[in-house]
Structure 1
Amino acid sequence: MKRIAVVCNYRLNASRIGGMDRFFVAYDRKCKAYGFDVKWFFSGGKRFSFYKDLDIEICRKTSVENCFLSFQRKEKTEFDFIITHFVELCTPFFKKVKKIGQPYVISVDHNPRPLNGFPLKKKLKNKLKGKLYSCYIDKFIGVSNYTKTQILNDYGKNLSSKTEVIYNGIAFGEYALRQQANHGQFIVASHLRSSKGIQDLVNAISILDAELKQLLEIDIFGEGPMEAELKALVKEKNLEEQIRFCGSSPELPKLFQKYSYLLQPTYMECFSLSILESLAANVPVITTPVGGNLEIIEDGTNGFIFEAGNTGQLSAIIKEILQHQRTIAGPVNHLIENKYYLEKMVNDHLYLLKL
């Protein structure tokens, strides 16, 4: 029996079962069907019933990388494959794992880059790390063409022969389809940090005319370090009737259908699972052209695009929607069913195991 270790800088959260949770469980099931033994390492949170069939280590006292290395030293376990998700690429960690049994190492890059790129010092450091440690990674995986390009820019064009794209996919059958216009009801599904641009959304709503404000409702699902600051900003702008903070919810697949649009004013993205989830529920998306967003959102077809940080543009789009001057008429869910579905994502990752 071949053994796989999956090392994820990812916290388990029973209140938010998202696309990656569904991927992890589906991937584990499919690997076992092919005779693999899979050991999972997560950076935090708590095991809950959704993960009941997975062999899991929760790493609470140290980084998930150090936790994995400690496990190997203690258990003297050798793995045929080591796969990382959300872990920084090209670090000494990969050199250390290669010394134990010579596993095949796959690193999946989900990590977004800053809107204006890294500063020069960081760029030089990444180039050096690429020279020192990229040889210990057998396969680099970007979750979008944008991400693949950034891997090569960061760590060296010479990595192109061992860098591939595997798009994220979701279990579209889990999502109830929006059947009605639900005019004026918007959803945000996001981690609450500054790079997600939700502060721009609040400011964009604040400059709408009073009569238009009365026509809209925005529900924000998610948690994060900026939550208190965002709530204070909403209060300062007198928008508490328009904007509600709903926390995290495992029921999002059923809730998306209540809304007319997903609002995602992000500054940083690789390939957004929230966008895929929204489209799967037949809910178009208002977002920025960062990361891999333009690989799935076509302006005027399945969503609307505005410049990141441009609150005036965002406000104008919302205004025109509320005034029925701008709309997405056709269904937007078919792209997910045909191209960005969970089974395809799982099978594409299984192919890396040389099946």
Structure 2
Amino acid sequence: MDRFFVAYDQACRKRGYSIDWFFAGGEKFELYEELTVHFSKNIAVENYFREFSLKNNLQYDVLFTHFVELCTSFFKKIKKDQKPYIIAVDHNPRPVNGFPFRKRVKNKLKGAVCASYIDRFVGVSSYTKAQILKDYGNRLANITRVIYNGIEVERYEKRTDPNFGKFIVASHLRPSKGIQDLICAVDFLPGNLKNMLQIDIYGEGPMETELKQEVRNRGLEKIISFKGSSPDLPDLFSRYSYLLQPTYMECFSLSILESLAANVPVVTTPVGGNLEIIRNNENGFIFETGNVAQLTELIKGILLNEIYITEPVDKLVEKEFNLERMVNNHIELLTEIDNK
């Protein structure tokens, strides 16, 4: 999302809009050099934004929120403080089996009380839009639209050879990403196929120590390597034959877009917006969420060359999910406000 924020800021400036950015955390890095950024440091970004606005007597015409919980009292307070046009963008994945009953009831109540203070809802996939309506009420359908995430496709080096047997994982290391299932699936492979396989995992997270120990316990250290976070992923994808993404929760996966942009097919699950990008047997393979045996069979079939993707897989991302299109669609939201 960092590159989207920068590209969107540039596009807004060209049209005479100025933006103040409010982020959680505390440090400005080089990519944000030209952005006007305020960091919330040790308090919630919503609280910091409200306190900062009141203290400096700031009145914003439009408020976009990203990665912020929807339909909370924050929106009601901001609407009363300064009456901006509020656009809430939902990037949040849902559990594969949905929220528990108490959470569903709570969401309905939040929607009834606070949804009216949000002027426009945006889902980053059709799945996300459907979840917004499911969580907060179908009455929001007319003010909810889909704007897909996009990436800077020209940054990604293209795979030109199959790099047989080499797989990449690019993921935060937490339970919902399903890396533990992948380790089990590899362990179930016959020994002769394990010798043909290399899996490099890029990413960090709370499960890192546990996952590394599981790899050691199963004696898979020569097959599965943990590479940590890397800023060089746009160049690295092209060295692999497939992206493996055994996820349980997804909204609209940037890792999938990045892999396809590098002409690398994807093995993943049908959660979130994945099926809006991945077409089974065309640009990747789909297996049932949590089905370790099915994942083992898919990897086995790929290694034995029984299943394969031969056609280029980068064209869909270049056409439908590029950064310029994403920026233009968000600019359209501002144009709609200006025309009211």
Is TM > 0.5 for Structure 1 vs Structure 2?
yes
DSSP-derived class of the 1:37 partner = coil
- For 1:120-269, what aligned pairs fall within 5 Å after superposition? 120-269=101-250
2:314 pairs with 1:333: yes
Structure-2 separation of matches of 1:114 and 1:229: 22
* Residue deviations 1:235-285 (CA, integer Å, cap 9, x gap): 111111111111111110011000000000000011101000000000000
Q: Which of 111, 119, 129 is equivalent to 2:92?
A: 111
DSSP-derived class of the 1:262 partner = strand
* Residue deviations 1:108-134 (CA, integer Å, cap 9, x gap): 000000010001100000000000000
Deviation (angstroms), 1:43: 1.2
DSSP-derived class of the 2:272 partner = coil
TM-score by length of structure 1 reads 0.94
**Which segment is superposed worse, 286-295 or 94-103?**
94-103
Structure 1 residues 320 and 45, CA gap change in structure 2 (3 angstroms): farther
Q: Which of 32, 35, 38 is equivalent to 1:54?
A: 35
DSSP-derived class of the 1:215 partner = coil
Residues 25, 42 of structure 2: 8 Å contact kept? no
DSSP-derived class of the 2:46 partner = helix
AA of the residue aligned to 2:52: F
Structure-1 separation of matches of 2:138 and 2:260: 34
Deviation (angstroms), 1:45: 5.5
Deviation (angstroms), 1:302: 0.1
Q: Which runs of 5+ in 2 are unaligned?
A: none
Deviation (angstroms), 1:100: 2.3
Percent sequence identity over aligned pairs:
59
Counterpart of 1:79 in structure 2 is: 60
* Residue deviations 1:23-60 (CA, integer Å, cap 9, x gap): 11100111111111111111125311111111111222
Structure-2 separation of matches of 1:204 and 1:55: 47
Residues 158, 261 of structure 2: 8 Å contact kept? yes
Deviation (angstroms), 1:72: 0.8
Counterpart of 1:4 in structure 2 is: none
Structure-2 separation of matches of 1:175 and 1:244: 22
Structure-2 separation of matches of 1:59 and 1:243: 38
Deviation (angstroms), 1:213: 0.8
AA of the residue aligned to 1:111: N
Structure-1 separation of matches of 2:33 and 2:4: 14
Residues 163, 239 of structure 2: 8 Å contact kept? yes
- For 1:264-343, what aligned pairs fall within 5 Å after superposition? 264-343=245-324
Structure-2 separation of matches of 1:52 and 1:295: 34
Counterpart of 1:7 in structure 2 is: none
Counterpart of 2:72 in structure 1 is: 91
CA root-mean-square deviation? 0.8
TM-score by length of structure 2 reads 0.98
Structure-1 separation of matches of 2:27 and 2:292: 38
AA of the residue aligned to 1:202: I
Structure-1 separation of matches of 2:264 and 2:289: 21
